[in-house]
Structure 1
């Protein structure tokens, strides 16, 4: 029995290795790295910061595949938006967006080939400032318990949303080995787990601005993804 189990293990390993090699030979390539976006805010009581780690998975498809995207690079982000509590009960959120584009632009801009930059990011460990033109969309909820109160935040005028003396000092992006952040958004926005909000008819009754913002707080909402489309 032990010999049979060993043989099966060897066969499984061989099949796995052949499958990976075949996958690469056909033109499929994949890369993955973790990154932390951190918001640093100056307040009347001092400087505060907060951020979340997400996983970015990028990949290419071979040119021989049918369709417009053949031969190009796509990506998906796994995780949740970065946020910081600016004052008690008042939060600044940096919504998820095209994380691949932002990261490739900030790191290794001297490398022209997108695939080469993605491969380099898997081993790079570095922190850089996010330039103003690459800032994520920033929002807040005037009432943290009410998803209808979402409001865009001007990164150049946080005082308009949070009061005098509040300034966005900088946003940084770090390529890291840390694990993906889980549960932070849900702990702050308890209604994310409320079917009365996240499922119809509650979801469809929310303003489109609220639905768009909520859809970019987490990389996936399994129970309501179809409702947002």
Structure 2
């Protein structure tokens, strides 16, 4: 083998290795626990759920320009039993950025690059307050046996749905080693497994499209509350 062929082969090997490095993703994974503190006429109720976050990002800025980052979630939203047959539920989205935004709001990190945010998540060991307006959507069922009875609950006005003496006083989020929450929704909602299997919307229909004027039961499916392994 000539010296020139050796140089060309070495150059090709370096090019292949570099291309492979650029085409592979960097991945960060963590679990985060969101908690709601709710004052009721009887007592304070604290309810939590854990969601696992997996975010992949290509090392190539060129590829990121077209594909961006991929976020995968596993777990369920919160199920909070307020007593007297009253429950409040949270959707699972937009949990993927909730811890990052809460840390920014608390002044623990600045608004930075993806790499800076991930580094802050890795080092995070604090319980952080979440602004109530940034919580995932909260909902309730006027009849726990009827998914079409779903209504939105405003975090600053629980009394409108549940009556006098119900207040959401605080919400927190933290990184945790706990496993993602599973089974709370199926345990609480008798129709959950049927709707999860069929993919029906909460009005009982199979909608291919939803529109701006669609009602909440027409929009929601079980995938709004749970993600990942079933």
Q: Which bracket does the TM-score occupy, shorter chain normalised?
A: 0.7 to 0.9
Residue equivalent to 2:53: 56
Q: What TM-score, normalized by structure 2, do the two folds share?
A: 0.76
Equivalent-residue separation in structure 1 for 2:169 and 2:26 (angstroms): 38
Residue equivalent to 1:217: 225
Residue 186 of structure 1 pairs with residue 186 of structure 2: yes
Report the alpha carbon displacement of residue 217 of structure 1 after superposing the two structures with TM: 1.0
Residue equivalent to 1:6: none
Q: What TM-score, normalized by structure 1, do the two folds share?
A: 0.76
How many residues matched? Answer: 200
* Cα offsets for 1:62-96 (capped at 9, x unmatched): 23438722xx3331211000121112321111111
Q: Aligned Cα RMSD in Å?
A: 2.9
Structure 2 vs 1, CA of residues 159 and 30 (structure 1 numbering), >3 Å: closer, same or farther?
A: same
- Extract structure 1 runs of 4+ deviating beyond 4 A: 21-25, 199-202
Moved more, 210-219 or 146-155: 210-219
Report the alpha carbon displacement of residue 49 of structure 1 after superposing the two structures with TM: 1.0
Report the alpha carbon displacement of residue 103 of structure 1 after superposing the two structures with TM: 1.7
Residue equivalent to 2:10: none
Structure 2 vs 1, CA of residues 120 and 143 (structure 1 numbering), >3 Å: closer, same or farther?
A: same
Moved more, 27-36 or 140-149: 27-36
Larger radius of gyration: 2
Structure 2 vs 1, CA of residues 87 and 97 (structure 1 numbering), >3 Å: closer, same or farther?
A: same
Structure 1 residue runs without a partner (length 5+):
1-20, 223-229
Report the alpha carbon displacement of residue 177 of structure 1 after superposing the two structures with TM: 0.9
Residue equivalent to 2:82: 86
